[in-house]
Structure 1
């Protein structure tokens, strides 16, 4: 039966989280990139990009999600989401909300009970940080799911403090 995930925050490296699935802030091509995407592809080893090529030959649409193996990471799966690029003019908050909603839907399909999330689109894609945090928390708290814990992984103390304050 669906309920709502407990939204928590930790400071650390998303690739080292001991959870069922980690969420990757991917690009539409699904072939690796910088930031979280590059770190996840590197930590997962060759299985992650190989699975991306096999499962997503044409990439993935902005706001959508799909999964691959997590390769060498402690998690079992990577749930890839394609966030909107605010810096390039993609400013529809609905696309950002969709990333979190779709990630939870994919987690439910996989039977994942614990999922670690980055702040989607808040890095190189330039989404204003305060709104990126609010969107993540609001969407994760109000989307029905079987996921027990939606863990926001803060990269650095400043991000941790901002997310913790927003969580109340």
Structure 2
């Protein structure tokens, strides 16, 4: 997917470029900066940085990656938080934007960012995350690049407390334990449900048997393929292909494959991503998912979270992914 939030060590990322949340002197510091210097080779990297004689807040410079898997290191000093009245937001946006532009200039196809300025510089994590997401998502609407936002642990991640609480309440009200309904699948005219059997009656060969229908028969009942139904929705919503896959956080090559293969079977998170991109209602979302053999269910936290956002008419896929990440669920896109 073009933008992905992951929990990882940024120095271990196998990308074209990683971003160092640097200081203006471009000297080895603590936190992420110190880790990057140590893994890259502190002496060699410091010599390369010294050639620039420093870097202003919001600007960016590039060095080779030395001992890292990444080919390049992009160094950008983020702003120190001083309460929000000293152009901190503008400068933080510039750090992300200039880093992305520099990566593009050096023909990088993938880049990994930390949450800039949220360490010792004290930028509030929730606000910093929103700036990172909005700046990156605006860039990838116009450029093909894989962008990773790397957080080391959940304490480094700032989802809105109000949003988190609202989703938590919605889950509490709507989530049904998986034991109540273990399998759901929509056919063309009716819903097939397999309720759980007593443990001593469950047989491996019966797990996917639904009303004695074979998988082949179920698929035969679908009157439109997923690709056909997706393209119909794109036409009905008067959107272009490019708008659709960009808003869905879907790679262009995957969209081309879906468009050209009538029998393409997407992952559920990919099908849902298209529903969000097209701003489908719950009914329309289930119609699209039905064509891929899925449905939204209250026995899945992932599904309940998606339902929450659709009910709120919030189709910001990156905000949805922030919430899914916070609840340890798969992210939308591919």
Q: TM-score, normalised by structure 2?
A: 0.45
Q: Unmatched 5+ residue regions in structure 1? A: none
Q: In the alignment, which residue of structure 2 is the partner of 1:155?
A: 152
Q: SS state of the match for residue 123, structure 1?
A: coil
Work out the CA distance in 2 between the residues paired with 1:75 and 1:148: 15
- The answer to whether the aligner puts 1:100 opposite 2:96 as a matched pair is yes
- The correspondence of residues 5-154 of structure 1 with structure 2, limited to 5 A, is 6-45=2-41, 46-54=43-51, 56-57=52-53, 59-87=54-82, 90-143=86-139, 146-154=143-151
Q: Which sections of structure 2, spanning at least 5 residues, go unmatched? A: 160-320, 326-331
Give the superposed CA RMSD.
Answer: 2.2
Aligned residues: 162
Q: CA deviation at 1:64?
A: 0.3
* Larger relative helix fraction: 2
Higher relative contact order by CA 8 Å / sep ≥ 6: 1 or 2?
1
Higher strand share: 1
Instruction: Give the direction of change, closer, same or farther, for the CA distance of 1:22–1:101 in structure 2 (3 Å limit).
Output: same
Larger radius of gyration: 2
Closer/same/farther in 2, CA of residues 39 and 131 from structure 1, 3 Å limit: same
- Structure 1 length normalisation: TM-score? 0.88
